């Protein structure tokens, strides 16, 4: 794991928090881990930072696409 990856992950999670203020942070992390690894109990424990970052980026991109489609 690199510090750059972690910092970027925190930045993307921060953006997601701003987009979805009704979602608790723990919920957000769990949801993104499920997107990365699948809906298993182990997902949140087994997901690597890079996988979490990729899933968080995709989730943010999907959220923005839905917002733009509705505008």
Question: Over the stretch 19-68, which tens digit does the pLDDT of each residue have?
Answer: 999 999 999 999 999 999 999 989 999 999 999 999 999 999 999 999 89
Q: Which residue has the higher pLDDT, 33 or 69?
A: 33
pLDDT of residue 19: 94
User: What sign does the dihedral 34-9-26-45 (CA atoms) show?
Assistant: positive
pLDDT of residue 71: 64
Please check whether residue 17 is in contact with residue 28, taking contact to mean a CB–CB distance below 8 angstroms: yes
pTM: 0.89
């Amino acid at each position: 794991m690199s510090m750059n990856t972690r910092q970027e992950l925190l930045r993307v999670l921060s953006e997601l928090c701003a987009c979805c203020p009704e979602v608790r942070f723990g919920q957000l992390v769990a949801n993104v881990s499920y997107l990365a690894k699948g809906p298993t109990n182990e997902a949140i424990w087994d997901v690597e930072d890079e996988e979490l970052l990729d899933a968080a980026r995709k989730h943010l991109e999907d959220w923005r696409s839905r917002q733009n489609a509705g505008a």
